[in-house]
Amino acid sequence: MPNLKALYTNLRIKYKMFVLISVIMLVVAVLAIIIQQYAFDFYDQEIYKQSSKALSLSSISIENELKKMEKLTFMLATDSTIQKYLRSIKSGLSDYDNYVVQLTVKERMVNIGALDKYVLSAQLYDVNDNEYAVGANSITVYPDRLSVYKKLTAVNKGGNTWIAPYSNDKSLIAAREVRSFQQLKLDYIGTLALRIDMAKLFHDLAKGMNSNDAQLIIMKNDEAVYPEASAFPIDTLSALPGDEGYKVIRYEGKPYFVTYIASTYTDWTYYTLIPFDDIFDRVAKVKNTIIVIFIVLFVVILIIAVGFANGITEPIERLNAKMKRVQLGNFEYNEEPNERALAMDEAGQMHRNFRIMVERINELIHENYVKQLTIRDTEFKALQAQINPHFLYNTLESINWSAKLNNQTHISQMVEALGSLLRTSINLKEPLIPLSKELDIINHYITIQKYRFEERLDFQVDMPEKLLHCSIPKLSLQPLVENAINYGLEQMIDTCMIKIHAYVENGLLYIAVEDNGPGMEEPFVAQLLSGQVKPKGSGLGLKNIEDRIKLLYGETYGLKVESELNGGTKVTLMLPYEMRDSDV
């Protein structure tokens, strides 16, 4: 005991908490299991009683139906019409008369009720053993079996006789002799056999037996009346005490819930057998579910307990590790990802105080280093800012004069076009410009390309005068012309015609850039529109242009690409029709 106490004392705090919570959970678990077992035992007894009552009522209902069958045999045997014709048969008739009698007797049997839903067939035999059968499930009764009927019914002298099933017929039979009551002679004039569908009767009337394996056994003393042969041992059933009750019996390793009740009408005893698991399967599932839930709950609580203990001790352990690093001369404080979210308890306050202390120590060390970095970064940015557009313009102007002095007019014109193109692109600060200014940018660009491709480039502009003052996004047409040269002209040997034209329709301004180049396949066009393909040269992609249009005007506007192999390409901008002041 002292050793256990010393061991517990030297344990880390989180392990102490884990042991404490585990002991509490075990005590609660033992008490819960004891209470649950008591509750389920009481519940089981109540279920036994209620199931027994339900099965007893079912047995009574079955017996009442059998009484009805016995009454039906009496009505058939004593019917005056049937008696009359059976007596006439006994005295002898012609073949035709026998045929008429047969039809009449069958019709009368049907009228009396021989086609009850639990009756498989009603079979009447005259003194000559001729059969009169009604019912959809009648069977052929051979002479040896018919003699058994006669032998068993003769004992009761016209009273009802129950005949157990046999190998060729699984039905219970209510049979009796038909005796003539004319002048009370009681002469034998026939035999009646009513075959009863016990399987259907048991299925319909066995209320509360939610099982496909339920069985009905009817016993008289120590012998089975129904069925003829049962897999369940008869001696086990006959040994049950009293006239009624219930019991759980094991047979071939499988438990059965048996309820039994003695008939008040006959000397029979009704036994109903249901596999125990079928009745109490739900109860067993509830028990197992509770056990599983409790085990899962126990594991979850243990995991929570470990997390709870770690939540208390882990901040202290981390703080100890930081103190050891400072103790070794490392004053660089490493802030943890979740340190700012520490709780305001004692451990959290210690972390914050330690962090403030280390940060103050490091503040003077880092201050000079940060200043030096700032100075270097400023100097670098100043060097980058020294190159400006004016230097670029002056350089181009020098190249232009040099070309003129050497009579290189085409170089001079290309440089002038490039300078104008750069001035226009850089000086226009507004996102929207008149269409005329965009065409100026394109003309400068075409001037340069004309010297490159010469007569192979055929550039045309078909633009109504009134549309030149419409507002369009800056640099929205020039990239389309550049793409036409890259994907059209460069891929051709013949002359490439590039045409820009515009028109207004339904309040929208349409500006199209069209070429007669080799065209593009539909998948490649889709890739250009989605930005998956980087455009050739330094031009802007189609997706960039469309995104700018949608950002400026909305999702209704954009661009449309029409292209097919060897059929050229047409790119159309869809913009709102907005006019600008011509003096702007």
For the chain, percent of residues with pLDDT exceeding 90 = 5
pLDDT of residue 511: 92
pLDDT of residue 365: 62
Q: Which two tokens stand for residue 272?
A: 């109903």
pLDDT greater than 90 at residue 500: yes
pLDDT greater than 80 at residue 362: no
Q: Which two tokens stand for residue 247?
A: 């019991």
pLDDT per residue over 539-554, tens digit each?
457 888 888 888 888 8
pLDDT of residue 62: 79
Residues ≥6 apart with Cβ < 8 Å to 557:
508, 549, 550, 574, 575, 576
pLDDT greater than 90 at residue 512: yes
pLDDT of residue 501: 93
How many whole angstroms separate alpha carbon 500 and alpha carbon 517? 15
Q: Are 52 and 259 in contact (CB under 8 A)?
A: yes
pLDDT greater than 50 at residue 108: yes
Q: Are 577 and 509 in contact (CB under 8 A)?
A: yes
Q: What is the mean pLDDT of residues 148-177?
A: 85
pLDDT category at 341 given cuts 50, 70, 90 is low
pLDDT greater than 70 at residue 337: no
Residues ≥6 apart with Cβ < 8 Å to 214:
202, 206, 272, 273, 274, 278
Residues ≥6 apart with Cβ < 8 Å to 336:
318
pLDDT category at 419 given cuts 50, 70, 90 is low
pLDDT of residue 23: 78
**Candidates 3.30.750.200, 3.30.450.20, 3.40.50.720, 3.40.50.300; correct CATH number of 12-279?**
3.30.450.20
In order of 91, 347, 349, the CA distances from 333 in angstroms are 126, 17, 16
> Sign of dihedral through CA atoms 294, 299, 302, 308?
negative
pTM given for the model: 0.42
pLDDT category at 572 given cuts 50, 70, 90 is very high
DSSP H or E run through 214: none
> Sign of dihedral through CA atoms 507, 511, 516, 522?
negative
How many whole angstroms separate alpha carbon 449 and alpha carbon 446? 5
pLDDT category at 138 given cuts 50, 70, 90 is confident
How many whole angstroms separate alpha carbon 465 and alpha carbon 359? 71
Q: What is the mean pLDDT of residues 507-517?
A: 91
Q: Which two tokens stand for residue 12?
A: 């880390």
Q: Which of 67-71, 289-293, 348-352, 442-446 has the lowest mean pLDDT?
A: 348-352
Q: Which two tokens stand for residue 354?
A: 């330690």
Query: Could you say which DSSP state residue 581 is in?
Result: -
Q: What is the mean pLDDT of residues 562-578?
A: 88
Q: Are 539 and 506 in contact (CB under 8 A)?
A: no
pLDDT greater than 50 at residue 385: no
Q: Which two tokens stand for residue 160?
A: 């009802």
pLDDT greater than 80 at residue 172: yes
pLDDT greater than 70 at residue 129: yes
Q: Is 584 exposed, middle or buried (CB count within 10 Å of its CB: 0-12, 13-18, 19+)?
A: exposed
Most confident of 204-208, 308-312, 466-470: 466-470
pLDDT of residue 499: 92
pLDDT greater than 50 at residue 324: yes
Q: Cis omega (within 30 of 0) on the bond before 337? A: no
Q: Which of 153-167, 406-420, 452-466 has the lowest mean pLDDT?
A: 406-420
How many whole angstroms separate alpha carbon 152 and alpha carbon 146? 10
How many whole angstroms separate alpha carbon 446 and alpha carbon 438? 12
pLDDT category at 96 given cuts 50, 70, 90 is confident
Between 80 and 114, residue with greater pLDDT:
80
Q: What is the mean pLDDT of the chain?
A: 77
β-bridge partners, 576 = 508
Residues ≥6 apart with Cβ < 8 Å to 421:
441, 444, 445, 448
Query: Could you say which DSSP state residue 164 is in?
Result: -
Q: Which residues of 44-79 are buried (b: 16+ CB within 10 A; e: fewer)?
A: eeebbeebbebbbebbbebbebbeebbebbbebbeb
Q: Are 152 and 175 in contact (CB under 8 A)?
A: yes
4-10 long-range Cβ contacts below 8 angstroms, 24+ apart? none
In 333-486, DSSP assigns E strands to 432-434, 457-462, 471-473
Count how many residues are written for the chain.
Answer: 584
**Candidates 3.30.565.10, 3.20.20.210, 3.10.310.70, 3.40.50.150; correct CATH number of 455-576?**
3.30.565.10
Residues ≥6 apart with Cβ < 8 Å to 584:
434
Between 436 and 24, residue with greater pLDDT:
436
pLDDT of residue 425: 62
In order of 52, 54, 232, the CA distances from 207 in angstroms are 11, 7, 22
Q: Which two tokens stand for residue 74?
A: 């009496």
pLDDT greater than 60 at residue 454: yes
How many whole angstroms separate alpha carbon 379 and alpha carbon 387? 14
Q: Are 477 and 513 in contact (CB under 8 A)?
A: yes
Q: What is the mean pLDDT of residues 229-256?
A: 74
pLDDT greater than 70 at residue 575: yes
pLDDT greater than 70 at residue 423: no
Q: What is the mean pLDDT of residues 499-521?
A: 90
pLDDT category at 59 given cuts 50, 70, 90 is confident
pLDDT per residue over 270-311, tens digit each?
777 777 766 566 667 777 787 788 788 878 887 877 777 776
pLDDT of residue 396: 61
Between 424 and 260, residue with greater pLDDT:
260
Query: Which residue ranges make up each domain of the chain?
Result: 12-279, 284-361, 455-576
Q: Is 465 exposed, middle or buried (CB count within 10 Å of its CB: 0-12, 13-18, 19+)?
A: exposed
Between 425 and 456, residue with greater pLDDT:
456
pLDDT of residue 502: 92
Rg (CA), the chain: 54
In order of 51, 294, 380, the CA distances from 38 in angstroms are 20, 17, 85
